[in-house]
Structure 1
Amino acid sequence: MFRLLVAAAAIGTILIPAGAAQAAPANHRPGVPSSLSVSGIACGDKGIFIGTPTPEFVAALADPDFGVNPYEKVTATFALWPVGQPGQRVEWPATPLTSGGIARAAAPAALTNGVRYRFEVRGTDAAGAQSRWSPECTFTIDTTAPHAPTVTSTDYPATGQAGGPGIAGRFTFAVAGGDTDVVAFRWSAVGAGLTEVPVGPTGNVTVEFTPTSYGTTIITVQAIDRTLIRSAATTYTFVVRNTEPRLTDLTPDAGPGEPHTFRVIPGNLGGLVSYDYRLNDEPAQTVAAAPDGTATFVVTPTAPGRNTIFVTGHTAAGVPTAEASAVVYVVYPPTTPTVTSPDFPDDGTAPPLVGQEVTLVFHPGTTGVTEYVWSTDFGATEQVAPAGPDGTATIRYTTREFPFLPLQVRSRTADGTESETVEFGWELTSHAPQVSSPQYPMYGHGSGPGDFTFAPAHEGVTGYDYSFNDGPVQTVDGETATITWTPDTTGFVMLRVHEHVGDIVSDVTEHQFHVE
């Protein structure tokens, strides 16, 4: 397609291709690569030292056409050579970038320890336009690890015992083996974490560390050189003196809620003028020490169970001892109710039958009890039994179906204060009857009418009740009884039978079978 242009004094016509009016934008050279670095160390005017023979080279690339020409891409070319050996120069490309960013390239081969190198970078775009070479970056390969440093301390020497928990000490780390390129020390200890400190101008540095416990303690130190290579670790071992004061409970027989008097005497740290003491998490209190360093104080533990008393001594200069502790257990009489029953003696007599009424007596575990809340189904159905003037209550209960009587009970006072719920349980004597059938044995199968015989499990049986599946409950008299049953359908059938000993109804016998 062409456009027709007509001059004002139309002498003729000129035909111009339509696309020529929308010519592509002009291409620009990539920018000069910048921000050169080697293995994470930025290049500098005086050169840098690298601690690996296989470093990574990095440069930042930019191009004015990024974001304008969607097809633009720039490839970085890295050049590397030993200083003074331009004939050994090698060049290699990195992965092209389609937007401004970082170009990375690994060394084409392992470099030599102790040799100085230079590298530079330039960019080439998709149209072949090239940037100028970047400024050169000079670096030296130095893979020699520094010597392990020395560690000394006059506060905590490597022999004997010194200081104590909470007492700060000074430790000096020093360059060893004549190293001149160590720039920092990295050290750690229990309670101090991992810390790096710069080396001082004389090749050493002094740090402060406060032990938190007595006994053997270790400080671990490494030297770090200018290439960030770490030395082997130096472990400095010393023993922190136990400075805990000694505690004695002068009233160990004090009852619940009664005060305890403690005597404290100095341990291995002399010159104590005061003690801070606290009970559990309560605020600390201070008591002055006598001239001989001893002191007494009184605390009143009230929390049920374990109560801990903590004590720390202090010198006139504020130097602390290790923290000592003592434990007092407070045991209050139980406030929960107890349960007795004349029907469950401890003389080996057989327990009552299932279905037999039993008597249970609730006894208070505290004063002022006015009633008891009880259940035999773990709180699903609760009942209330009023207490008499003596705080007791008596109930009568009949267990059905199962040869075990569970009971959950708590007491309640007039103001609504309730004890904790306690659980009790008693075994009962099972007397589920025996059931047999020649036509329909247990878990067997048959068809047509069947005879079922019920036999007693306990003496004095007067009859039985029974039902098939969900059908009506029927009864039959006699110590032993036989019934005839005719099925009206097929499938599984469950026969449930109880024996009766007068008014006492037994736990159930289930007889399952299949009708064909």
Structure 2
Amino acid sequence: MRRALSTLLIAAGVTAFAAAPATADPVSLPMPVTGQSYTDLRTPNQTQTGKDLPVGAWRDEENRFHSSKAYFTVDLTRLRGTRIFTARAYSRETAVTDCAKPRSVELWHTKLAEQPTWLKAPRELTRFETGVTGQCQANVSWEITDVITRAVAAGQEKATFSLRMAGGKQFDTGYGRRYAPVSVEVSYNTPPSAATDPRVNGLPCTATGDLVNRPPQLSAVVTDADPFPGFQVRYVVADVADPAKRHEGTVNAYMPFVVPSGFAEHGHTYEWTAQGEDGYDRGPASTPCRFTADLLGPAVAPVVTTTDFPQTGAGLPGTFTFDAGGDEDAVEFTYDGAGQYGTVRADRPGGKATLTMRVPTSGPNRIEVRSVDRLGNLSAPTRYDFWVRPSWPTVTVPQGEIPLGTEVEVSLRSAERDITSFVYEITGAPGSVTVPAVDGAAAVRVRVTDPWVTRLYVRARNSDGDLTQSGVGEIHVAPSEPVVTKNGDLVTFAPGMPGVTEYLYRVNYGEEQTVAAGPDGAVTLPIDFGDHPFPNVEVRSRTADGLVSRTASFHVE
């Protein structure tokens, strides 16, 4: 059983009609045949069976006379609800008494009889012409389409047929023949099922019709029992106010179908049905389903106001008010600006909404706001420009150049209200540090660890947990590189900062090497510069706790 969810898509663009698939050949299948048997004048009250079926007069091995008719019954239950195109019965002659005698076999449709006997033979109703392929011991067939069609239409579940010789030849042994078991083949089509479960955008249809703001997906469930191609679904969509304005198209049951975008008009209601078809028959159409096109957003752009900016500082909460101006089509607002975007619900259709924002940077900013209807249609935008006051704290550092490794005091102060702490980060150091504030101020001790400049990024936090934008303090560092001298083949590294315990050096841009410093922080060592065209040495010093100086470059004259 095939189960298809066929989809119709009404979309903007050009009209697209799906090409109808080529009609495939109908299903042709063998039917179940039961009760293959024969009757015998010699045993008039019995139903006989065997590997083949004697028809007409014949003699047995003891030369006793027999006269037989063959019967078979066809099971029609699988044809219920189908349209029949052809039905044929087939057999072949397995034995012929006299090939010179003209073939006189007849096939008859009889009253239903699954256990016929000679004395209780069913009444013969309709005779069929015999088709022959070959000469003696030929293949034979009979077209039984009309009888099978009428039987199925009448609701009969079985039909019985009989093979016999014409007239008095039934008793003439010269005409006797034997036949292989009969097979019956029927070509038919099962119409598609009724289209059920119509849906708009995946939701069950409603009595009033769903509102849609974009080309909707229309779907229905259709099944087809026949395993051949050609199964598709036809959709018909019509304007309720003007039924002559309609769109109709077919699509493979498993593929979407696109209807032209210009078909649906704003404010119009449309009724549609789905119907399965397979190239031969159509199934019942779905119950009518409706949708109404709502393609336009609120007519009035919102009004945007604020009383918090520019008074509110960067990073601190400020509010905006969005007003739909009484346009009851508007139920919410969408906003985008200052690195933030989202949606806020109106207090009522056509009403207002309040948005709290924390703008991270000071200076000029812009927010763009639109009213939104319940389907997501947007109004024209309102662009609101505003200014945000700086909020960074003051970071006071020592002046001049500070020796590397020195611990200095840094003062922090914020002019914002209700400041409870400061949060700062130091370049090159992991994580952040929080220190309490007293009357909006704090002092921290910072060790200078960068050989060039140590930067502090500081934000103030208020009692609500809001953080200001960052203030920056830069501590400039005094030169710290080693002093390099050369005397003959000996090179001396002298410290440019206190606490040096070792040196890291490279000769002629080679691999870096390490040498320990003496008690006075210096070291002298022989260095072979070889025949390098630009002999040189690069050296840094390092303290026991890991501070590394700037690099000194020494070029040999």
TM-score range, shorter chain: 0.5 to 0.7
Confirm or deny that 1:32 pairs with 2:178: no
- Tell me, yes or no, if the aligned pair for 1:61 and 1:123 is still in contact at 8 Å: no
User: Which residue number corresponds to residue 232 of structure 2?
Assistant: 75
Q: 1:326: how far off?
A: 0.5
> For the residues of structure 1 that align with 2:500 and 2:444, how far apart are their CA atoms?
36
Confirm or deny that 1:59 pairs with 2:219: yes
- Tell me, yes or no, if the aligned pair for 1:215 and 1:242 is still in contact at 8 Å: yes
User: Which residue number corresponds to residue 92 of structure 1?
Assistant: 248
Q: 1:388: how far off?
A: 13
> For the residues of structure 2 that align with 1:171 and 1:307, how far apart are their CA atoms?
39
Cα 1:318–1:257 shift into 2, 3 Å: same
SS of the residue corresponding to residue 223 of structure 2 reads coil
Letter in 1 for 2:240: V
Q: 1:409: how far off?
A: 6.2
Match of 1:137 among 262, 276, 290: 290
Confirm or deny that 1:215 pairs with 2:215: no
> For the residues of structure 1 that align with 2:537 and 2:297, how far apart are their CA atoms?
77
SS of the residue corresponding to residue 230 of structure 1 reads coil
Cα 1:388–1:398 shift into 2, 3 Å: farther
User: Which residue number corresponds to residue 126 of structure 1?
Assistant: 279
User: Which residue number corresponds to residue 523 of structure 2?
Assistant: 391
Q: How is 1:436-515 mapped onto 2 (pairs within 5 angstroms)? A: none
Q: Deviations over 1:279-332 (max 9, x none)?
A: 444542323324xx4443332222333322233334556554433220113346
Letter in 2 for 1:124: E
Q: Deviations over 1:18-60 (max 9, x none)?
A: 684565687253241434337x9875433234446xx465323
- Tell me, yes or no, if the aligned pair for 1:251 and 1:261 is still in contact at 8 Å: no
Cα 1:261–1:118 shift into 2, 3 Å: same
Letter in 1 for 2:389: R
User: Which residue number corresponds to residue 378 of structure 1?
Assistant: 510
Letter in 1 for 2:348: P
> Which consecutive residues of structure 2, in runs of 5 or more, have no partner in the other structure?
1-29, 39-46, 49-53, 55-67, 73-88, 92-181
Match of 2:209 among 37, 47, 61: 47
> For the residues of structure 2 that align with 1:397 and 1:91, how far apart are their CA atoms?
90
User: Which residue number corresponds to residue 458 of structure 1?
Assistant: none
> For the residues of structure 1 that align with 2:342 and 2:502, how far apart are their CA atoms?
66
- Tell me, yes or no, if the aligned pair for 2:480 and 2:550 is still in contact at 8 Å: no
Confirm or deny that 1:301 pairs with 2:374: no
More relative contact order, 1 or 2 (CA 8 Å, 6+ apart)? 2
Cα 1:383–1:360 shift into 2, 3 Å: farther
Q: 1:128: how far off?
A: 0.8
- Tell me, yes or no, if the aligned pair for 1:122 and 1:134 is still in contact at 8 Å: no
Q: Which runs of 4+ in 1 moved over 6 A?
A: 367-374, 382-390, 417-423
- Tell me, yes or no, if the aligned pair for 1:49 and 1:226 is still in contact at 8 Å: no
**TM-score normalised by length of structure 1:** 0.60
Letter in 2 for 1:361: L
> For the residues of structure 1 that align with 2:328 and 2:461, how far apart are their CA atoms?
44
Cα 1:145–1:332 shift into 2, 3 Å: same
- Tell me, yes or no, if the aligned pair for 1:185 and 1:199 is still in contact at 8 Å: yes
- Tell me, yes or no, if the aligned pair for 1:252 and 1:260 is still in contact at 8 Å: no
> For the residues of structure 1 that align with 2:301 and 2:408, how far apart are their CA atoms?
54
Q: 1:112: how far off?
A: 4.0
SS of the residue corresponding to residue 364 of structure 1 reads strand
Q: 1:139: how far off?
A: 1.4
SS of the residue corresponding to residue 252 of structure 2 reads coil
Confirm or deny that 1:262 pairs with 2:425: no
Confirm or deny that 1:164 pairs with 2:313: yes
Q: Deviations over 1:370-395 (max 9, x none)?
A: 99987558359x99999999732345
Letter in 2 for 1:165: A
SS of the residue corresponding to residue 162 of structure 1 reads coil
Q: How is 1:104-503 mapped onto 2 (pairs within 5 angstroms)? A: 104-107=257-260, 110-140=263-293, 142-143=295-296, 146-156=299-309, 161-176=310-325, 178-192=326-340, 194-202=341-349, 203-250=351-398, 252-267=400-415, 269-272=416-419, 274-280=421-427, 281-290=430-439, 293-315=440-462, 320-331=467-478, 333-335=480-482, 338=484, 340=486, 359-366=488-495, 378-379=510-511, 391-394=523-526, 399=531, 404-408=533-537
> For the residues of structure 2 that align with 1:222 and 1:388, how far apart are their CA atoms?
74
> For the residues of structure 2 that align with 1:201 and 1:329, how far apart are their CA atoms?
58
> For the residues of structure 1 that align with 2:311 and 2:198, how far apart are their CA atoms?
52
Q: How many residues are matched?
A: 383
- Tell me, yes or no, if the aligned pair for 2:479 and 2:550 is still in contact at 8 Å: no
Cα 1:41–1:250 shift into 2, 3 Å: same
> For the residues of structure 2 that align with 1:142 and 1:232, how far apart are their CA atoms?
14
Cα 1:131–1:338 shift into 2, 3 Å: farther
- Tell me, yes or no, if the aligned pair for 1:58 and 1:104 is still in contact at 8 Å: no
Letter in 2 for 1:12: K
User: Which residue number corresponds to residue 13 of structure 1?
Assistant: 70
Q: Deviations over 1:85-104 (max 9, x none)?
A: 44x1635222223xxx4542
- Tell me, yes or no, if the aligned pair for 1:145 and 1:229 is still in contact at 8 Å: yes
Question: Percent identity among equivalent residues?
Answer: 18
> For the residues of structure 1 that align with 2:502 and 2:393, how far apart are their CA atoms?
51
Q: 1:164: how far off?
A: 1.6
Cα 1:122–1:180 shift into 2, 3 Å: farther
Cα 1:36–1:278 shift into 2, 3 Å: closer
Cα 1:385–1:171 shift into 2, 3 Å: closer
Cα 1:133–1:253 shift into 2, 3 Å: closer
> For the residues of structure 1 that align with 2:184 and 2:354, how far apart are their CA atoms?
75
Letter in 2 for 1:296: A
Letter in 2 for 1:302: T
> For the residues of structure 2 that align with 1:319 and 1:184, how far apart are their CA atoms?
27
> For the residues of structure 1 that align with 2:261 and 2:390, how far apart are their CA atoms?
60
Letter in 2 for 1:58: L
SS of the residue corresponding to residue 146 of structure 1 reads coil
**TM-score normalised by length of structure 2:** 0.57
- Tell me, yes or no, if the aligned pair for 1:59 and 1:104 is still in contact at 8 Å: no
> For the residues of structure 2 that align with 1:231 and 1:115, how far apart are their CA atoms?
20
Letter in 2 for 1:62: V
> Which consecutive residues of structure 1, in runs of 5 or more, have no partner in the other structure?
342-358, 428-516
> For the residues of structure 2 that align with 1:58 and 1:278, how far apart are their CA atoms?
57
Letter in 1 for 2:448: P
RMSD over equivalenced CA pairs, Å = 4.4
